[in-house]
Amino acid sequence: MSNALARMRFHNIAALLIDLDGTLLDTVADLAAAANGVRADAGLPPLPQARIATFVGKGADVLIHRALTDSADGQAPEALFAAGRRSFDAHYLRENGRSARPYDGVREGLDAFRARGLRLACVTNKPQRFADDLLARQQLADRFEIVIGGDALPLRKPDPLPLVHVAERFGLPVQRCLMLGDSGNDALAARAAGMPVLLVPYGYNEGHDVAAIDCDGIVESLLNVADLLD
Q: Which residues are catalytic?
A: 19
Angle between helix axes 60-69 and 78-95 (nearest 10 degrees) is 110
Angle between helix axes 184-193 and 161-170 (nearest 10 degrees) is 60
The H-or-E segment that residue 26 falls in is strand 25-26
Q: Is 167 exposed, middle or buried (0-12, 13-18, 19+ CB in 10 A)?
A: buried
Sign of the torsion formed by the C-alpha atoms of 152, 155, 157 and 160: negative
* Number of C-beta neighbours around residue 173 at 10 A: 13
